[in-house]
Every structure is written in structure tokens, then in C-alpha cells.
Amino acid sequence: MADQTAWRRAYCGSALVAFVTLKPRLGSQKSLDARKVLRLYQIFAVEGCRRLDEGNRLRAIINEEEYNLYSSTFDRGGQIDLPRLRAESPITYLHGRHRLAAAEVFLHSDDHWWAVDFYREQGRWIVSHHIIFN
């Protein structure tokens, strides 16, 4: 229970982020599974991307400098219309590479954004571990 509390305390807020700003934590060295991308594309064709749903959001860990720079933009209260974050440097997300790859093909280029939940770096391994697996 204490571990869950740690990542809940680390939560900073949410915002919409452009695809071009998003960078996977694992980097591009890990190849995408084309079958997963195709399956997600087919789901998007039937159900839509549902990129605002909490369960479909990307999760990113930000350092103190990024927190100070972007925290005034974040929504912390569960707004229906999340603010757009205009990041000056790449935002590293923890998971969702296949989701973004499918969305990049599915969505019009003017609509390349995704909802991201931001977590402040504190005990990074513990926080990122619980954000990924819980």
C-alpha cells in the first residue's frame, strides 16, 4: 500500500502532448511488433483511439527542472479538456510505443497528440516501476 501512495504523491497532472515531442524511454533501438500495431489500428478503426481515457494515457516521469518549467500547464483536477503542453524538449514516456505508432497512421497529421500523465521524479526506480506495473 505504501508503494501505491509513493506514485500517487509523485503525480503532477495531465496534459495533451504532440507526437513529435514524445520519446519512448526504451528508445528506438527496440523494434516495434507490427502485429501489435496492426491490432491496435484495427481497434482504433472500430472504437476510436480513446486517448483521453485514463487507462490509455501515456505516463512520463519528469525531473525537477521540467516540473518547474511545465507544472503551471498541467491539469490536476480531471478536466474534460486537458491543456496542451508546448514542451521545449522531448518528453520521455514509459510505455505505449505501439499505441502511438498505430495512432500515427490512423489519425490525420493535424491530430497527432496524446494525453499524458506526468509524475515527478522521486525515488525514480520505485516510482517508474509502480507506474508501469500497477
Q: How many CB atoms lie within 10 A of CB 20?
A: 10
> Global pTM?
0.83
DSSP string, 41-69: HHHHHHH---TTSGGG-EEEEE-HHHHHH
- What does the mean pLDDT of the chain come to? 84
pLDDT in tens, 49-70: 999 998 899 999 888 889 888 8
Give the pLDDT of residue 78.
Answer: 62
Residue 79: is its pLDDT beyond 70? no
On the question of pLDDT at 87 being above 80, the answer is yes
- Which of 4-8, 10-14, 37-41: highest mean pLDDT? 37-41
Looking at residue 126, its pLDDT comes to: 44
Length of the chain, in residues: 134
What's the confidence (pLDDT) of residue 125? 47
d(CA 132, CA 134): 6
Strands (E), 29-134: 58-62, 84-85, 91-93, 113-120
Is residue 134's pLDDT more than 60?
A: no
